[in-house]
Structure 1
């Protein structure tokens, strides 16, 4: 017989959501930084053809 799962507390849910948002913010900042460096053509981390 199926048994319903216990409900996740609000604090756990909010903590997980905050961690997820923090990770996405870091990745967005890295992407923006990389785009800025490419536009300024002052990048040293990789080589690309013009």
Structure 2
């Protein structure tokens, strides 16, 4: 999902699917992360995750 030299990334998970750095990810991966982030299975939940790495 992210490259070995990337210093940051943006992840968005919602009912439409999963995107990482603006690129849509496969539905299987969306389902995996949706289950991790939303174990109750409630529709309409939106998640935004921003992570930055510094050395």
Name which structure has the greater RCO, CA cutoff 8 Å, separation 6+. Answer: 2
Higher strand share: 2
Q: Same fold, TM exceeding 0.5?
A: no
Higher helix share: 1
State the structure with more CA Rg. Answer: 1
TM-score normalised by structure 2 residue count: 0.27
TM-score normalised by structure 1 residue count: 0.29
